Amino acid sequence: MANLKEIRSRITSVGSTMQITSAMKMVSAAKLKRAQDAIIQMRPYANKLTELLENLSASLDSSDGGVYSQEREIKNVLLVTVTSNRGLCGGFNAYIMKRAKALINEDYANANVSILSIGKKSSEHFSKNGFNVVSTHDALFGDLTFDNVAKVAVGIMEQFVEGDYDKVVLVYNQFKNAATQIIQAENFLPVQATENEGASTGDYIFEPTKQEIVEELTPKSLKTQLFKAVLDSHAAEHGARMTAMHKATDNASELKKQLTLTYNKARQAAITGEILEIVGGAEALNG
């Protein structure tokens, strides 16, 4: 009977877990809808702005590209890692940390690499493991607005202009759909001109000058690029969590079925044993 009590306790525990994971799945699904709408609306504008800036930069002399286009020997690199503040979202955060470590150990093995972390999971991981975390911005997701993200972008741009970093790379999850996130290691600074030979090269009249337009557009484009990366990661996080909680709920449901079957078998065996004892006692009395 003690065994039956233990199985009943496990069934109750698994049932409670299943209710929690199911509720978390529903919450993530609701948040995903809002986050998905935000990135879908933002992405065309951000991509077109970046394309326009790259086309303009390609038509300028290298010396006229502006302070954000300066190509220098890569000695100091800043990785901007975007993760979540909470877990329970499968390998969402682990993939970002793995990609960042690969960049540190392989692509920039001969450079001094610093990390600017957006999201508690990467902040905690890299700090505990001895990486050079220069700043953290975990509160961004509490009030995710363009202005708040732009402040972070401005700080990065100022450090690049001052020569603190020779290259800045964004590492984040790009949202594709609820079940799929694509790891991105995207160049942020310096701004690189497009290499697309099919870019528009028509004869245009620029007012003000082409260089002034580039200097005006570049900061705005960089702020938008970082905001898009954070929005992408935000939507991808909710998609990953919804998928993880859906799988957890299915696994809990299957485990509950197996435990219920085990409980019924054990209960049937216990009842059969009691019946045999009664029959055996009756035969002994009749004998």
Sheet containing 76-82, strands listed edge to edge, beginning at the edge strand earlier in sequence? 133-136, 112-118, 76-82, 167-177, 180-189
Tokens (6 digits) for 111? 């450079």
Please, which residues have CB within 8 angstroms of residue 169's CB and are 6 or more apart in sequence? 77, 78, 79, 80, 103, 185, 186, 187, 188
Instruction: For residue 247, count other CB atoms closer than 10 A to its CB.
Output: 13
Q: Is 89 a catalytic residue?
A: yes
**Of 77, 101, 76, residue with least CA distance to 183:** 101
Catalytic residue among 80, 82, 89, 96: 89
How far is 76 from 113, CA to CA, in rounded Å?
Answer: 6
How far is 69 from 182, CA to CA, in rounded Å?
Answer: 27
Q: Catalogue the active-site residues.
A: 89
